[in-house]
Each structure stands twice: as structure tokens, then as C-alpha cells.
Structure 1
Amino acid sequence: MYQPKDSSLSPRFCGVRTFMRLEQITTTDNVDFVVAGVPFDTAASYRTGQRGGPQHIRNFSVLLRPYNPDQNINIFDYCSGVDYGDIDVIPGNIHRTYENIQNGLRPILEKNITPVIFGGDHSITLGTLRAFAEKFGPVALVLFDAHADTWDNYYGEKYMHGTPFRRAVEEGLIDVEHSIMVGMRGSLYGPDDMNETRELGFEVITMSEFRKIGLEEVMRRVHSRVGRHPAFISFDIDFVDPSFAPGTGTPEVCGATNVEAIECVRRLNGLNIKGFDLVEVLPTYDNGEITAVMAANVAHEMISLIALKKQAEQMERQHAVMNSSTPDK
């Protein structure tokens, strides 16, 4: 059973920085989840530096503790997890990086371990979705993001951080009928930009609509859309307003508050989630590390969802045993 080092016995400033002070070991034995970095950022269209995102999140995460009071669960009562380290990337070569992502995730997914992946820019998600589709078939995508990332190209290039979900649809990696995007906002080139995303088959809830209908209705729609289909959760830190998360490549005003963002993740509980990613954290613009605070806590909530799923499965097994041992009347 792998769990974090106890910070009441060992100071947080001691040791190598891993997520939540988990053991850093590349293993798929006796683990329920792994945290893995993909520090690739040469498909970004504006600011770069997202390659530093995985370690930036890890650096702050030493402050996190195993018990989540709002979800009323101690993660490591139900889960074993490790910091798997980083998947090797090839700077400037996105296609070889995609191959590395697929090869790196394959042994994890073969054992039904849930990965929590830290980017890197959002282009990495295409490689991740290729690995998930290989294991599960097309997955339902739940995207929290300021941008739909369904452009056809940037500068004539088809593989950039603004294009992964169009490519994923074209490759048949996403079950679009059960996929939903939340948080889109900001200026566009024209109305077709968002219309084309819907034409690809996605349900889209813009941030303006989010404000009108409220978080409860947003998450009801997420659950209704996804149902029990295998789901992948992608969280771009620019979903959050730059007043709460300035350290990102393409910030947009009028985003989610930190409370709204955390609540969105918490209320994913009950979905059939197979994996997560958290992308576009850019340390050089992160004043006071407030983006790292936000990102690390989002990741903590993601891992809490894994624990809640394990808890529910354990309770179902116990209930089945009790029913099977009850004599017929």
C-alpha cells in the first residue's frame, strides 16, 4: 500500500518533491492511481513554459493532506498511489511525444489503474486519448476550459494545443454524443468558431450560460450527457479566472472562481471516470504560486473521486456478500 509521507512526523521541506509526498516509483503493482507528468510545451501558440507545470504542481502539493473533509473521505483508506514520474517528451516533436505518451500509459491502463496526468500544454491530451481509446474504445470527454480547442489548425499546423479535440474526433477517440465542454469564453474570430464545435457533436456550455443557469444545472447536464459511459476528464487551468490562476498560457477574463472550479470537480462523483489530466500550468507567470495552489487542489479532488469510487465499490461488494449470506425465508 503506497501512501504519502506523514508531514506531522517529517517536515514538508525534507525530501524530493513528489505529488502529496507520494513515493516516487515507476510501478503498476499494488496501486490504484498514478500521478504522471508530461512536460511538453512546444505546441503552445502564445506563452510557453508549461513544461514546468508538472513540477510546479508537485512543489506546492506537499501541503496537501490525505483527508478530504468536504467529501468526507481519507483517500488512502481506499487507494494506493504513487508519483510515477514524468513520461519522456521530445521537445519540438509532437508525434514522437504522442508515441511516448501512448507507450507510457499502456501498462498503466492495462492494469485498470487510473492516471492523473499533469501537462504540459493541452496538445498532450490527444496522445492520452489515443491510449484510452486503445483500452476502452471511444471515451466520453468532459472538458473544463476557456477554449474548445477544436480549431482545425494554427499557422497551418494540425497538431497544436488549440486543435487536439478536432483531431480526436477525426480519429474516433471520443464518444461525442456523450461528451460535454464547460467554460468557453473570450473573443473569437467569428460565430462559426463555437458553432463548429457543436457541429462536431459536443454539447457546449459557455461561461455566460454557466452564469445564467448556475453550477447545479451545469453539473446535472454533465451527468445526464455522460451517463455511465467510460469518461475522461480534461481540466485546463485557464477554466479558472486569471485572478485565481494567472499562471497559464492563454488567460481569459470572466472565468470560474476557485470555489466553482473545485465544486465542478467534486460533483463529477458518480461518473465512470477512467482518467484525468490537468494542463496549461505555467510557473513563470504564477504570482505568489496561486495557480499552483489551485492546480494542486484540483488534482487532490480528482484523486478523492478515485477514492470515492473505490469506497462505493467496496460497499457494493459488502452488500452483495450480506445478501448472499441471508437465508431465504
Structure 2
Amino acid sequence: MHEFLEHCGGFMGAGSDYQAARLVLVGAPMDFTVSFRPGTRSGPQRIREVSVGLEEYSPYQQLDLKDYCYYDAGDVVLPFGHVPQSLNRLEDVVGKLLADDKFPLVLGGEHLITLAPVKQTAQRFPGLAVLHFDAHADLRVDYLGESLSHATVMRRVAEVVGSRNLFQFGIRSGTADEFAYGYENTGFYPFEILNPLRQTMERLRGRPIYVTLDIDVVDPAFAPGTGTPEPGGCSSVEIMAALHMLKGLNVVGMDLVEVCPVYDQSDRTALLAAKLVREAILLFGS
């Protein structure tokens, strides 16, 4: 399908017909700028591997993956340690998916990978809104002198889509400057996800939306396998409910990032991620 893609074991139930698929999964195994615990480059493949432990039927939506046509394109082959070139490759792949009228669902990898699909999606869908579920604000101007970092990614996203088009939920960690910037410039909703998301729904209806979900928005009691765990987060039930609340909105792309298998000995984090991916396929893949 693309010279930068490498086939690997697919997500449960994924078909072999790219042309017929509406939704396409892509792995972005990058963790070059992580600031605490590395290992998220293994996240995409572990999410695929544990997905077979789940049912293809969703009792939440009363829908079944067997009735959907989706495709797992594998992982983007990234030049190790080269951040700009890696983002360029991911942009190229996502751009091809969008040009083919596919819904891209990108599996990370560190959160910086979000910048690439957002750039491509914003070009294709003017007025794009970005919904950001995360423990961390990720709004720094730079981190250790670097403008491209998982700690700066939402600041870069705000520069692409406009800060007023960025909505942030569940944030409970950041610098004083990040919180001040968020309160003044973005749709900034710290500590909670469900109530502020309900309040935001009317502002989102009819708009193209990109969803970026950092698994560390969930409390580490439920999702310990992540690079920068932050106590005080939402439950796995709440993040599932938040995703289901997006039904009927014009969601045009999504990523799920920061699953770190080396710290996930029970696989509970990867299983939660795989379950969220299943629900996203059923929500956005038709």
C-alpha cells in the first residue's frame, strides 16, 4: 500500500481488502522524545496481540466487528532517532489514507506522533477541532530546548488548528505556564472528562473532529503500562463512556498513544487500549 509501511500481525478481525475498507489502522512505533520511561514503540504491536483476547461483539453498542470492513496496514517504518523525518513519514502515510477517503486510526507510540495526522487532517478538513484526552497538558513551548517533544505536542497542534479549536479533558499535570496557557487559550477542562465533554457537545456538532487519546488519562490503577503515569485519573469505565459519547459527531481521524508494554505485565493497559480500538472501529468505521 505504501513504501513506508511494514506488515505485522493485524488487529483482530481486520480484513485483507484495503480498497473496500473504510477505516485503516496504522502503527507509529516511535518513542524518541519520551522524558521518563521508554518503551511505547512496542505499543502498537502489543495492542494487536492482546486484541484476540476480546470478543468481536460489543455489548455497549450491540454491534459486531464481523459486520465491518477495516484494514490493518501495519507499522510505519521509522528512521530510528530521527524525529522530523519520522513525523514526515507518518504524515505521508496518513495523507495517502485521507486521499483514499479512509478513516485513519493511528496507534502509538509516544504522543508526539499526533502532530503528523493532525497536520494532514487539518489540511483536508478546514475548521478541524481536536479533542485531547490526557493526564498531561503537553502545552510547553519547548522541552529541554526541543520544540518537537511529547511534552510540547499540543502546543504544536494548537499552532496548526488554532488554540480555540483544541479541547483538553482530564488534564492533571503540567507547569504553571501550561495551565495558564490552557485556561486562557484552549478549551481546557482539567481533572474531569465526562461532564465537560457533555458541556462541549453542542459546540462540536457538525464540525470535523480529530480525537487523540493518551492512555495515561486513565488512572494508573487501571492503566499502569504507560511511560508517564499520573495518579488521580479517570476510570476505564469513564474513558469508555467518553468515547461512546462521540457517537453521531463528525469524527474524521483518531489516535491512541502511550501504551508502554514493558510496564504492563498484566496486559491490562494494552487490553483497555484494544477494547477502545474495537469500540472506535464500530463507532467510526462505517
TM-score (norm 1): 0.80
Do the aligned partners of 2:128 and 2:210 also contact (CA within 8 Å) in 1? yes
Range 240-249 or range 60-69, more displaced = 60-69
How far is the alpha carbon of 1:138 from its aligned partner? 4.5
Q: 1:230 aligns with which of 179, 202, 208?
A: 208
How far is the alpha carbon of 1:198 from its aligned partner? 3.0
How far is the alpha carbon of 1:267 from its aligned partner? 0.9
Do the aligned partners of 2:158 and 2:165 also contact (CA within 8 Å) in 1? no
Gap runs ≥5 in structure 2: 1-7
Please give the alpha-carbon distance, in whole angstroms, between the structure 2 residues aligned to 1:162 and 1:189. Answer: 11
Specify the alignment match of 1:69 in structure 2.
59
Q: Does 1:180 align with 2:172?
A: no
How far is the alpha carbon of 1:17 from its aligned partner? 3.4
Do the aligned partners of 1:248 and 1:282 also contact (CA within 8 Å) in 2? yes
Distance 1:175 1:270, change over 3 A: farther
Higher-RCO chain (CA-CA 8 Å, sequence separation at least 6): 2
How far is the alpha carbon of 1:21 from its aligned partner? 4.0
Specify the alignment match of 2:252 in structure 1.
274
SS of alignment partner, residue 143 of structure 1: strand
* Residue correspondence of structure 1 range 1-329 to structure 2 within 5 A: 17-23=9-15, 28-77=18-67, 79-170=68-159, 173-186=160-173, 188-190=174-176, 192-199=177-184, 201-207=185-191, 210=192, 215=194, 217-307=195-285, 310=286
How far is the alpha carbon of 1:65 from its aligned partner? 2.8
Provide the aligned C-alpha RMSD in A: 1.7
Give the paired residue count. 279
Specify the alignment match of 2:4 in structure 1.
none
How far is the alpha carbon of 1:219 from its aligned partner? 2.8
- 1:254-278 per-residue CA deviation (whole Å, 9 max, x = no partner) reads 1011111111111111110001100
SS of alignment partner, residue 288 of structure 1: coil
Please give the alpha-carbon distance, in whole angstroms, between the structure 2 residues aligned to 1:222 and 1:73. Answer: 26
- 1:195-243 per-residue CA deviation (whole Å, 9 max, x = no partner) reads 11233x3111111xx2xxx83x333123123221110000000000001
How far is the alpha carbon of 1:100 from its aligned partner? 0.3
Please give the alpha-carbon distance, in whole angstroms, between the structure 1 residues aligned to 2:99 and 2:178. Answer: 37
Please give the alpha-carbon distance, in whole angstroms, between the structure 2 residues aligned to 1:145 and 1:107. Answer: 28
SS of alignment partner, residue 12 of structure 2: helix
Please give the alpha-carbon distance, in whole angstroms, between the structure 2 residues aligned to 1:21 and 1:303. Answer: 11
Higher strand content, 1 or 2:
2
Please give the alpha-carbon distance, in whole angstroms, between the structure 2 residues aligned to 1:197 and 1:180. Answer: 9
How far is the alpha carbon of 1:249 from its aligned partner? 0.8
Amino acid at match of 1:254: G
Specify the alignment match of 1:3 in structure 2.
none
Amino acid at match of 2:102: I
- 1:57-112 per-residue CA deviation (whole Å, 9 max, x = no partner) reads 011001233321111222443x3111110112122111101110111111210122
Please give the alpha-carbon distance, in whole angstroms, between the structure 1 residues aligned to 2:131 and 2:163. Answer: 10
Please give the alpha-carbon distance, in whole angstroms, between the structure 2 residues aligned to 1:174 and 1:221. Answer: 21
Do the aligned partners of 1:231 and 1:274 also contact (CA within 8 Å) in 2? yes
Give 1 or 2 for the bigger CA radius of gyration. 1
Please give the alpha-carbon distance, in whole angstroms, between the structure 1 residues aligned to 2:127 and 2:46. Answer: 31
Do the aligned partners of 2:138 and 2:155 also contact (CA within 8 Å) in 1? yes
- 1:12-37 per-residue CA deviation (whole Å, 9 max, x = no partner) reads xxxx73211424x5x64111101110
Identity %: 35
Amino acid at match of 2:58: N
Please give the alpha-carbon distance, in whole angstroms, between the structure 1 residues aligned to 2:163 and 2:87. Answer: 22
